[in-house]
Amino acid sequence: MSDMRYFISGQQDARKSTKTYTAPFIANLLLSAGAGLTRNFLSPLVPIAFTAILTIPKIKIRNEDVSDPEYLNSNAYVTGYKQEAYKKKRVQTILGGGIGLVVGMATSFILKSNGIDIMK
């Protein structure tokens, strides 16, 4: 099997087996909502920084997630698997951060328009 086929098999296995990352999604949602409440122009940096920090931990490939255990001997397979898993992790985390930022800023503007200023 060529390296490209191993790489694609790794991506497909990662798509099937990698769970969605709920904890990073919620953590970034809450951090970004808090940053959005401040109405600071640097608030959009929070979801980006959190996502960058979160991609540091390694992705572990479990044997039950692999369609054929022989594939683990191929660097192309491992690279494809990890690339897809990191992509999935980043998308979930950025999505949580974006939603949190919008919710935080909207809440801040609604409170301010009702005469409640939390930034006193």
Confidence of residue 103 (pLDDT cuts 50, 70, 90): very high
Listed by start position, the domains of the chain span 3-54+74-113
Question: CB–CB of 77/9 below 8 Å?
Answer: yes
* CA atoms in the 13 A half-sphere facing the CB of 51: 21
Q: What is the reported pTM?
A: 0.77
Question: CB–CB of 36/107 below 8 Å?
Answer: yes
DSSP notation for 32-48: HHHHHHTT-TTTTHHHH
Q: What is the pLDDT of residues 63-74, one digit of tens each?
A: 888 888 888 888
Longest dimension (CA), the chain: 67
Q: What is the pLDDT of residues 46-56, one digit of tens each?
A: 888 888 887 77
Query: What is the CB neighbour count within 10 angstroms for residue 28?
Result: 28
Q: How far is CA 120 from CA 39, 43, 97, 100, in A?
A: 12, 18, 25, 22
Q: Please state the rounded mean pLDDT for residues 72-95.
A: 89
* Closest alpha carbon to 60 in 19, 24, 101: 19
Confidence of residue 120 (pLDDT cuts 50, 70, 90): low
